[in-house]
């Protein structure tokens, strides 16, 4: 019998033994109990080996998917809906890359030819191109920059960067709202330009929001950033927000407002004593709809609300109750009426 | 609608099967219960023939295990969920799959490839293996008390510390063998090793380095 001369470690390495420990069946229980009866001298080793194996656990992730979400994903699978839009971004980027590498090899070939005739020419020359990623209303996407930094781009927002990004500098131009999780590289500052405001960092995460009136907010989640506008500059620490007001050209510091600045990354739409016009603007941009409203702004009062990954209908219904309104929905157009 | 009936069917059947072979260590089975109606192979073949109930059982039984497994490689929960969703869509759209007697192995392997593909593309990690050290964390539990033996607490904490210090690939191998109950053949496949023998060697090495550290 192969087990007769087994040592403690041999049991640890044995597939059948481990299988019995992890997934005992009637057969394996019978086999091992009767084997032990005949070999009581192995008992100690086996008990110890069993205990070692059963005591191995892994630290489970703190994050669990709740059953509702599990059902939702299942429905999407049944409807054959592939996951988020960010795969499409990946695919696009890939295609871009392929062209790029073909272009690069042609350039290399060409320049080799040139080199043959004139050895003074430099070899590879690539002309940097502008890469643009943008979202329409109703869509957020995730973008990975060539240096490994991650950008969550909000609805109605766009970023631009050069195809030579990360070669010498890392600079991005932003319109709209984006969350940046910057890959740490002390040698190359990561610079975001949003309107008049420039934010430079080395490795950190923060949110920049550029508003319609050209005001810009920079909310810092972790690390340290430097913000500059109109010759003024300011260093931010985590949980601080820099607000740039375009008409007064002033740069001010305030505490980070989670709901206002950060929550959207997690799919949360939140308002704090917001006027109906702001609420409507956010909903339009969030869901890609247009909303028309009857009456004056002052008719509606101010609103506090927090919607955690809710549908448009859910939010409209909530508004119906709290603001005493009715709504009519016609495709992508919504009309809000007073009761 | 059709969808709801599928979910209902699945709930009925899961109640009978989730204690079977494919339940993992979290719900430690005392022994294989006789109420287990389908083997992995049967369930898999039913799914391949287009049985939506079987597909639903598979989805519901393995979803949580897959989420937990995904966390070995990345903290990005959205990526994990997306990869699981895409994997199931792929499986469902091409039912012309090979047979398997361990659905868990089949799914985890598929998930690992998907994750690796996207993680590499995103370039946010240098390599999957390097990340293991940081993410896969073993804990030696306090719960098990067998008749006469009990790991003394200092030995236990030492063991969990040592287990987290060994090389990432050895760690991954230990995870598959002792936590997921994979065979050497399955380990070789999921870790892209050349042969079953390499999988054995990797585990032997892991045990050896554990032992060496413990005896210090």
CATH number at residue A244: 2.60.120.1440
The per-residue pLDDT for range B20-29, each reduced to its tens digit, is: 333 343 433 3
User: Is residue A75 in some structural domain?
Assistant: no
CB A192 within 8 Å of CB A227: no
Taking the C-alpha atoms of residue A59 and residue A50, their distance in angstroms, rounded to an integer, is: 20
* Domain-terminating residue out of A226, A261, A296: A261
Q: Do B179 and A90 touch (CB under 8 A)?
A: no
Low-confidence winner among B54-58, B114-118, B191-195 (lowest mean pLDDT):
B114-118
Same domain, A241 and A273: no
Q: How far is B24 from chain A (nearest CA, A)?
A: 8
Question: What is the pLDDT at residue A222?
Answer: 76
Compare all CA atoms of chain A with the CA of B30 and give the residue at the minimum distance: A24
State which residues form the domain around A176.
Answer: 128-261
Q: Do A80 and B89 touch (CB under 8 A)?
A: yes
What is the tally of structural domains in chain A?
A: 3
Question: What is the pLDDT at residue A110?
Answer: 40
User: Is residue A99 in some structural domain?
Assistant: no
Mutate which of A47, A67, A78 to test chain B, going by most B C-beta atoms within 10 A?
A: A78
Question: Rounded to an integer, what is the distance from CA B82 to the centroid of its chain?
Answer: 18
Q: How far is A147 from chain B (nearest CA, A)?
A: 7
Taking the C-alpha atoms of residue B45 and residue B7, their distance in angstroms, rounded to an integer, is: 19
Q: How far is B84 from chain A (nearest CA, A)?
A: 9
Question: What is the pLDDT at residue A76?
Answer: 86
| Bridge partner residues of A191 (DSSP) | A171, A200
Place of tokens 């609805």: A155
- What is the torsion angle, in degrees rounded to the nearest 10, for the CA atoms of residue B96, residue B84, residue A149 and residue A241? 160
Q: Is the pLDDT of residue B155 over 70?
A: no
- A129 CB neighbour count, 10 Å cutoff: 12
Which chain B residues have a beta carbon less than 8 Å from that of A47? Answer: 146-149
Task: Domain B136-215: give its CATH architecture.
Answer: Orthogonal Bundle (1.10)
Question: What is the pLDDT at residue B187?
Answer: 93
Q: Do B207 and A25 touch (CB under 8 A)?
A: no
- A185 CB neighbour count, 10 Å cutoff: 15
Which chain A residues have a beta carbon less than 8 Å from that of B148? Answer: 47
CB A218 within 8 Å of CB A241: yes
Question: What is the pLDDT at residue B116?
Answer: 82
Taking the C-alpha atoms of residue A135 and residue B164, their distance in angstroms, rounded to an integer, is: 42
Torsion sign across C-alpha atoms B22, B196, B141, A54: positive
Question: What is the pLDDT at residue A89?
Answer: 38
Q: What are phi and psi of A88, to 5 degrees?
A: -60, -35
**Environment class of B58 (CB within 10 Å of its CB; exposed 0-12, middle 13-18, buried 19+):** buried
Contacts of residue B177, Cβ cutoff 8 Å, sequence gap at least 6? A18, B184, B187, B203
Mutate which of A22, A62, A87, A179 to test chain B, going by most B C-beta atoms within 10 A?
A: A22
Strands A130-134 and A56-58: unpaired
CB B113 within 8 Å of CB B119: no
Taking the C-alpha atoms of residue A131 and residue A143, their distance in angstroms, rounded to an integer, is: 12
- Select from A15, A22, A61 the Cβ nearest to the Cβ of B25: A22
Taking the C-alpha atoms of residue B154 and residue A327, their distance in angstroms, rounded to an integer, is: 66
Question: What is the pLDDT at residue B156?
Answer: 65
Q: Where are the beta strands (DSSP E) in chain B?
A: 138-140
User: Is residue A179 in some structural domain?
Assistant: yes
Mean pLDDT of chain B: 72
Q: Do A87 and B123 touch (CB under 8 A)?
A: no
C-beta contacts of A311-318 below 8 A and 24+ residues apart:
A312/A283, A312/A287, A315/A269, A315/A283
Residue A279: give its domain's CATH number.
3.55.50.30
Taking the C-alpha atoms of residue A93 and residue A144, their distance in angstroms, rounded to an integer, is: 10
ipTM value, please give it.
0.73
Q: How far is B110 from chain A (nearest CA, A)?
A: 16
- Three-state DSSP at A258 gives helix
Among A249-263, B61-75, B113-127, the range of highest mean pLDDT: B61-75
Q: Give the containing element (helix H, strand E) for A318.
A: helix A312-323
pTM confidence score = 0.48
User: Is residue A186 in some structural domain?
Assistant: yes
Q: Do B118 and A50 touch (CB under 8 A)?
A: no
Q: Do A64 and B25 touch (CB under 8 A)?
A: no
Compare all CA atoms of chain B with the CA of A69 and give the residue at the minimum distance: B81
Q: Do B71 and A61 touch (CB under 8 A)?
A: yes
Give the domain ranges of chain B: 2-122, 136-215
User: Is residue A288 in some structural domain?
Assistant: yes
CATH classification code of B2-122: 1.10.1740.10
Taking the C-alpha atoms of residue B203 and residue B172, their distance in angstroms, rounded to an integer, is: 10
Same domain, A164 and A211: yes
Q: What are phi and psi of A217, to 5 degrees?
A: -110, 140
| One pLDDT digit (tens) per residue for chain A, 339 residues | 788 888 888 898 899 999 999 888 888 888 988 888 888 888 888 888 887 788 777 776 666 788 888 888 888 888 876 665 444 434 433 444 444 434 443 444 443 434 444 443 343 445 677 888 888 888 888 888 887 788 888 888 889 988 888 777 889 999 888 888 887 777 788 899 888 888 888 767 777 877 766 788 888 877 778 888 888 888 888 888 888 888 888 888 888 777 777 777 777 888 877 888 888 888 888 888 888 888 776 667 777 788 887 888 888 888 887 777 888 888 888 888 877
User: Is residue A303 in some structural domain?
Assistant: yes
User: Is residue A276 in some structural domain?
Assistant: yes
Percent of chain B with pLDDT over 90: 19
Taking the C-alpha atoms of residue A286 and residue A302, their distance in angstroms, rounded to an integer, is: 20
Q: Assign residue A138 a region: left if phi > 0, alpha if psi is -120 to 50, beta otherwise? A: left
Q: Do A73 and B184 touch (CB under 8 A)?
A: no
Compare all CA atoms of chain B with the CA of A57 and give the residue at the minimum distance: B139
Taking the C-alpha atoms of residue B30 and residue B39, their distance in angstroms, rounded to an integer, is: 17
Contacts of residue A31, Cβ cutoff 8 Å, sequence gap at least 6? A20
Taking the C-alpha atoms of residue B91 and residue B71, their distance in angstroms, rounded to an integer, is: 21
Which chain B residues have a beta carbon less than 8 Å from that of A57? Answer: 25, 138-141, 179
3-state helix, strand, coil in chain B (%, to 5): 65, 0, 30
Q: Do A51 and B211 touch (CB under 8 A)?
A: no
Question: What is the pLDDT at residue B24?
Answer: 40
Same domain, A211 and A318: no
Same domain, A275 and A216: no
* Domain-terminating residue out of A214, A240, A261: A261
Percent of chain B with pLDDT over 70: 62
The per-residue pLDDT for range B78-97, each reduced to its tens digit, is: 888 999 999 999 898 877 78
Q: Do B146 and A47 touch (CB under 8 A)?
A: yes
Q: What is the 3-state secondary structure (H, E, C) of A268-282?
A: EEEEEEEEHHHHHHH
Same domain, A322 and A250: no
Compare all CA atoms of chain A with the CA of B204 and give the residue at the minimum distance: A13
User: Is residue A310 in some structural domain?
Assistant: yes
Q: How far is A132 from chain B (nearest CA, A)?
A: 17
Same domain, A284 and A217: no
Confidence bin at B216 (pLDDT 50/70/90): low
């Amino acid at each position: 019998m192969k087990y007769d001369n087994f040592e403690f470690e041999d049991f640890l390495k044995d597939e059948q033994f481990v299988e019995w420990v992890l997934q005992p069946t009637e057969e394996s229980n019978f086999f091992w109990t009767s084997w032990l009866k005949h070999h009581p001298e192995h008992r100690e080793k086996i008990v110890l080996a069993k205990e070692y194996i059963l005591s191995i656990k892994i630290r489970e992730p703190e994050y669990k998917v709740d059953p509702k979400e599990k059902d939702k994903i299942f429905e999407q699978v049944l409807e054959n809906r592939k996951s988020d839009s960010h795969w499409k971004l990946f695919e696009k980027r890939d295609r871009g890359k392929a062209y790029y590498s073909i272009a690069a090899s042609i350039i290399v070939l060409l320049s080799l030819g040139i080199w043959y005739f004139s050895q003074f020419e430099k070899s590879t020359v690539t002309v940097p191109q502008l890469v643009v990623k943008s979202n329409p209303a109703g869509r957020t996407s995730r973008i990975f920059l060539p240096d490994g930094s991650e950008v969550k781009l909000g609805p109605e927002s766009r970023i631009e960067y050069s195809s030579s990004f990360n070669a010498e500098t890392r600079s991005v131009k932003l319109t709209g709202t984006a969350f940046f999780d910057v890959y740490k590289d002390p040698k190359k500052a990561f610079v975001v330009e949003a309107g008049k405001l420039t934010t430079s960092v080395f490795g950190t995460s923060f949110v920049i929001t550029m508003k319609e009136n050209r005001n810009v907010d920079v909310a810092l989640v972790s690390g340290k950033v430097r913000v500059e506008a109109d010759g003024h500059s300011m260093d931010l620490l985590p949980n601080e927000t820099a607000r740039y007001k375009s008409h007064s050209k002033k740069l001010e510091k305030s505490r980070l407002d989670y709901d206002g600045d950060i929550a959207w990354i997690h799919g949360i739409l939140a308002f704090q004593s917001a006027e109906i016009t702001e609420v409507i603007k956010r909903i339009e941009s969030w869901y890609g709809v247009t909303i028309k409203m009857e009456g004056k702004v002052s008719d509606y009062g101010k609103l506090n609300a927090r919607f955690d990954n809710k549908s448009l209908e859910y939010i409209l219904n909530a508004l119906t109750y709290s603001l005493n309104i009715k709504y009519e929905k016609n495709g992508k157009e919504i009309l809000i009426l007073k009761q | 609608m059709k969808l709801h009936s599928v979910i209902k069917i699945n709930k009925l059947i899961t109640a009978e099967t989730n204690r079977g072979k494919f339940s993992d260590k979290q719900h430690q089975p005392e022994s294989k219960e006789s109420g287990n109606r389908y083997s992995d192979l049967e369930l898999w073949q039913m799914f391949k023939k287009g049985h939506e109930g079987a597909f639903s059982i598979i989805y519901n039984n393995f979803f949580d295990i897959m989420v937990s497994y995904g966390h070995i490689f990345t903290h990005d929960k959205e990526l994990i969920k997306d990869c699981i969703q895409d994997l199931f869509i792929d499986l469902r759209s091409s039912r012309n799959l090979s047979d398997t007697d361990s659905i868990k192995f089949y799914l985890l392997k598929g998930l690992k490839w998907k994750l690796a593909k996207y993680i590499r593309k995103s370039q946010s990690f240098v390599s999957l293996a390097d990340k293991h050290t940081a993410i896969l964390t073993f804990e030696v539990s306090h719960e098990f008390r067998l008749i006469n033996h009990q790991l003394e607490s200092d030995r236990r904490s030492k063991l969990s510390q040592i287990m987290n210090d060994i090389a990432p690939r050895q760690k991954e191998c230990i995870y598959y063998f002792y936590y997921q109950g994979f065979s050497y053949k399955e380990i070789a496949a999921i870790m892209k090793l050349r042969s079953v023998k390499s999988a054995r060697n990797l585990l032997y090495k892991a045990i050896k380095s554990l032992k060496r550290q413990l005896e210090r």
